Amino acid sequence: MAENSPEQEQEVYLAPAKINLSLEVLNRRPDGFHEIITVMQTIGLADRIFVKPAADLQFDCNQPELVVEENLVWRAALLLHEMCEPSRQRGADLYLEKNIPVKAGLGGGSSDAATTLLALNTLWEMNLDEDRLIELAAELGSDVPFFIKGGTVLAEGRGERLEALPGLPPSWLVLLFPQIDLPENKTRELYRMLDRNDFSSGGVTRALVRAITRRERPSQSLFFNSFERVVYERFPRLDYFRQAMVEAGADYVRVSGSGPTLYTLLTDEADAQDIAANLTENGFVAAVAPTFQP
C-alpha cells in the first residue's frame, strides 16, 4: 500500500507484519519442504519502503547491517529487473525503514520482498497480474506470496496456494518481543526439530476457516501452532515471557510463526493497551497493533 510522500516522485509503501492465527505442519515432503496449512493475518505494524526512479538499482536501510546481497528487498528488485528486456531496464532507489523485528516470526523480510515486487511492478509499468506476482514471490520465500494478497488468508502447500478469507471483526493484538539470542537459521533449525508427533491433520485450521467464513469470532482453541513445542524446547526462557503476558492479563498466549514473538488477540483496544502498558512498565518490549486489511 502506497502513502503520499512530500518528496517529488517518491512513493512510500507499507510492508505490514503478519501473525499466524493457526499454523499446522502436516508432513515433510519428498523435496525436503514441509506441507503446511495456516491462516495468516496482516497487522498494523509495518516497515516502510521508499521508492523513487533512478538511473540504476540502489538500496539502503536504516539498519546498515541489513544492506547485504541476501536482503529480500534487493533480491526482489533484482528478480524483476532481470525479467525486463535490456532495452527496457530501469533503475530505482529503494530505502527500507525497518520497524518489524528481525527473525521474530512476523514475516518482516517476506513482507518487504512482496512490497518491493508490488512497488516496482508499478514504477516500471510491468503490468504483471497478481497470479504472476505470486509465482515470483514463491521464488523468494514461502511466506512472500501471502503478502502479495495481505489481509486474512488461508495458505497451503509451502504457503503458495492462497485463498482470501473475510476479514476478522475489529481486533487488537498485544505483541511481546522476547529479548533472546536467536540462531542465524532459526526457522530451518526449528523445522528440523519437528517430529511426527508435531504433525497434524489440518483440522484445527479448517475449523478456524469455517468460523471466519461464517463471520463468527473464533474461540482461542482454534489459535494453534505446530511449532510451539519445539520453540519452547529450543528457547526455554520463552516461558518466562509467556508467564509475564499471563500475569499482565492475557487469557492465552500464542507463538507467531516460528517465534519468538508472542501474542494475544483481544476485541477491546483498551484491554490490549492495558496489558501492553503493564508489560512495558515491568521492563518488557511490547506493542499493540490492530489487525489490518489492505
User: CA gyration radius for the chain?
Assistant: 19
Task: Please tell me whether residue 261 adopts helix, strand or coil conformation.
Answer: coil
Cross-sheet strand order for the sheet of 254-255: 254-255, 262-266, 172-176, 286-290
Residues β-bridged to residue 154: 39, 163
Task: Please tell me whether residue 7 adopts helix, strand or coil conformation.
Answer: coil
Residue 113 — φ and ψ, nearest 5°? -65, -50
Q: How far apart are CA 75 and CA 180, in angstroms?
A: 28
The DSSP letter of residue 251 is S
From 199, 163, 177, select the one nearest 19 (Cα to Cα). Answer: 177
Indicate the burial class of 81 (C-beta count within 10 angstroms; 0-12, 13-18, 19 or more): middle
Catalytic-labelled residue, pool 18, 52, 98, 186: 18
Residue 98 is among the residues annotated as catalytic for this protein: no
Q: Give the containing element (helix H, strand E) for 287.
A: strand 286-290
Task: Please tell me whether residue 23 adopts helix, strand or coil conformation.
Answer: strand
Task: Please tell me whether residue 163 adopts helix, strand or coil conformation.
Answer: strand
Q: How far apart are CA 9 and CA 7, in angstroms?
A: 6
Q: Both ends of the chain: CA-CA distance in Å?
A: 7
Q: How far apart are CA 211 and CA 42, in angstroms?
A: 18
Residue 52 is among the residues annotated as catalytic for this protein: no
Catalytic-labelled residue, pool 52, 143, 149, 186: 143
From 204, 229, 231, select the one nearest 219 (Cα to Cα). Answer: 204
Catalytic residue ranges: 18, 143
